[in-house]
């Protein structure tokens, strides 16, 4: 198979890569670019562990081809903190212990970031529905919901 040359923007940086036509963006991020924050849980768009933001839309990177990123803007978990300063969501996930094994966490953080960008003051129900595309088998979700509520409060005050 001939490789596809792709020029894209990832976390604000211009990036070029060569990928196979059937290679997912998730595999490109992890295996070619060393951005291993996005995780492969199911590989079929059910678990949300590979969530990224593509041109302001929350998507599963396992359901996007690497070739499709041409000319677009990709945001991953690696771009969430500013240097050593964590994003309020990251800080609140730590404070609320909203994770155990951590596999789902990057996906939850990205999905929560997208949720708060579109709805800065969500109700608990809106948070639960908004994060329904992300599965966590450890926390029972309560701590995640509380962390997102707390982060929303902090971000509103900022």
CA distance 8 to 26: 14
What's 80's DSSP letter? T
Q: What is the DSSP string of 23-65?
A: -BHHHIIIIIS----S--SSSSSSS-TTEEEETTEEEEGGGSB
155 counts as binding other proteins under rule CB under 8 A: no
Q: How far is the CB of 111 from other proteins (least distance, A)?
A: 7
Q: Which of residues 42-81 bind other proteins (CB under 8 A)?
A: 43-46, 48, 51, 54, 57-60, 62-65, 67-68, 70
Q: Which of residues 100-139 bind other proteins (CB under 8 A)?
A: 111, 114-115, 129-130, 132-134
DSSP element (H, E) containing 7:
strand 4-10
Q: Which of residues 78-97 bind other proteins (CB under 8 A)?
A: none
Q: Which residues pair with 19 in a beta bridge?
A: 4
Candidates 7-15, 37-45, 79-87, 98-106: pick the segment binding other proteins (CB under 8 A): 37-45
Q: In the complex with other proteins, which residue's Cβ is closer, 97 or 117?
A: 117
Residue that has been written with the tokens 């129900």 in this structure:
125
Q: How far is the CB of 76 from other proteins (least distance, A)?
A: 14
């Amino acid at each position: 198979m001939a490789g596809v040359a792709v020029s894209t923007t990832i976390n604000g940086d211009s990036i070029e890569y060569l990928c196979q036509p059937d290679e997912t963006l998730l595999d490109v991020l992890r295996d070619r670019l060393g951005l291993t924050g996005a995780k492969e849980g199911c590989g079929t768009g059910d678990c949300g562990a590979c969530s990224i933001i593509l041109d302001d839309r929350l998507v599963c990177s396992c359901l996007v081809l690497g070739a499709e990123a041409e000319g677009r803007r990709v945001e991953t978990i690696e771009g969430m903190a500013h240097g050593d300063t964590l994003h309020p969501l990251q800080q609140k996930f730590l404070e609320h212990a909203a994770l155990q094994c951590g596999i789902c966490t990057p996906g939850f953080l990205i999905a929560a970031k997208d949720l708060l960008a579109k709805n800065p003051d969500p109700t608990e129900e809106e948070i639960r529905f908004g994060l329904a595309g992300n599965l966590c088998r450890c926390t029972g979700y309560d701590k995640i919901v509380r962390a997102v509520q707390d982060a929303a409060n902090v971000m509103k005050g900022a």
